[in-house]
Structure 1
Amino acid sequence: MSSSTGFFDQLQALTPAGQQAFMATLCERLVPNYALYAETTGHGDPQALRAVLALVWEQLSVKDARIDFDRQADKLAELEPPAEDDSFGARRALEAVVALSALLDALRGESPGSILEVSRTSRGGVRAFIELTEGEDDDDKLAQLTREHPLMAEENDFQDAALEAAQARLDKDAIKAMRKLGRNEGVSNLGLSADT
């Protein structure tokens, strides 16, 4: 993968539609983390989260779609895990909501930095998962471990693939392909899947 600065520059150079498609692809891949949290705790509503994301895909593929994203943002706010739940699962579920919320901001013409936020949110979740599973206390060793970890390599490859797809001409088929890429056969950025 190219240096992260080069990568972030390329993200920001995407057309608005390309940026939105990139973010939607990453959001799609975060949904299983949310679904897994909901499944194990009974908090949250994966179907409602998917419904908001489905409307985003509709907006991206149907030229004249008229969707009230202010209303969707309100619905999304209700899907956050309880504030007092500071568990690992709750933080990963919250990342899915935060990423989708940043995408809605972008669709409403707010927050030009949304794409970087979504990219970093997804990578941050992977980093947290590696820290949790590897149990390494030494910061330098942990940083090296994270860089070389297969999950991080997969995350970087995935974001590279999403960026490449977003740089192409985004017709209906291209959008459909990006959604399929994001679905990643139901496996999240942490290598987890839920029964949704």
Structure 2
Amino acid sequence: MTKRGFHERLQALSLSRQQAFMAALTERMLPNYALYNDTTGQGDPGGIRAILDLVWEQLLVKGAKIDFERQVEKLAEMEPPAEDDSFGARRATDAVVAISAILDTLRGEAPDAVLEVSRVSRAAVRAFIELTEGEEDGETLARMVKQHPLMEDENDFQDAVLEGVEGDFQREDIKALRKLGRNGGISNLGLTLD
């Protein structure tokens, strides 16, 4: 029997387990959105938090009736302005993209959403390392990114969340995933609003 890879394991999950995986990763990206808002005054951290809370409610409360079409409309208003190409705006946009992917699955679309959210989170960490570690040639930079403590932490975090959603999936397990995702308020980039 061959050991299944990370992406195969993600795609083998039931939809609700995929949604929990994405929600936990998104929790960890939210401080980046809050930091963007804190430094620019753009965005709505309370609003984006409320939408993610509704996603968790949908996972925790059987039969919860939530109008996710309306949440998609609200989320569109929370995206950083398209003309803002700053690093902070791109990381805030990552959080919006991740929530949007979850909402797509809740509306019955997006079979690859779970892979997209995983990639978005890893790409944000890679971009942060590239930004902070200076100008290296491509090969050196790729090696540095792979061995960087932030990337190791990101990979370990995604592995832990995947193991969490592959295990028991009772109410308490979902709450534990949410707490894991909140990561003490520290984002996937190692940043915090405090």
TM-score when normalising by structure 2: 0.97
State the superposition RMSD in angstroms. Answer: 1.1
Structure 1 residue 168: Cα displacement: 1.4
Structure 1: where are the runs of 5+ without partners? none
Aligned match of 2:167:
168
4+ residue segments displaced more than 2 Å: none
* Secondary structure, counterpart of 1:43 in structure 2: coil
> Does 1:74 pair with 2:73?
yes
Amino acid at match of 2:126: R
| CA displacement at 1:32 relative to structure 2 | 0.1
* Structure 1 counterpart of 2:94: 95
Question: Alpha-carbon deviations, 1:18-67, whole Å to 9, x = none?
Answer: 10000000000000000000000000010000000000000000001000
Structure 1 equivalent of residue 35 of structure 2: 36
Give the aligned residue type for 1:131: E
Deviation at 1:109, TM superposition (A): 1.2
State the alpha-carbon separation in 2 of the partners of residues 74 and 169 from structure 1: 34
- Provide structure 2 residue ranges, at least 5 long, that are not aligned to the other structure: none
Q: CA deviation at 1:101?
A: 0.3
Alpha-carbon shift at residue 123 of structure 1 (Å): 0.1
Structure 1 residue 45 and structure 2 residue 25: aligned? no
Q: Normalized against structure 1, the TM-score is what?
A: 0.96
Corresponding residue for residue 137 of structure 1? 136
Aligned residue for 2:5, secondary structure, equals helix
Counterpart Cα distance in 2 of 1:74 and 1:137: 41
Distance 1:30 1:6 in 2: 24
CA distance in 1, matches of 2:169, 2:74: 28
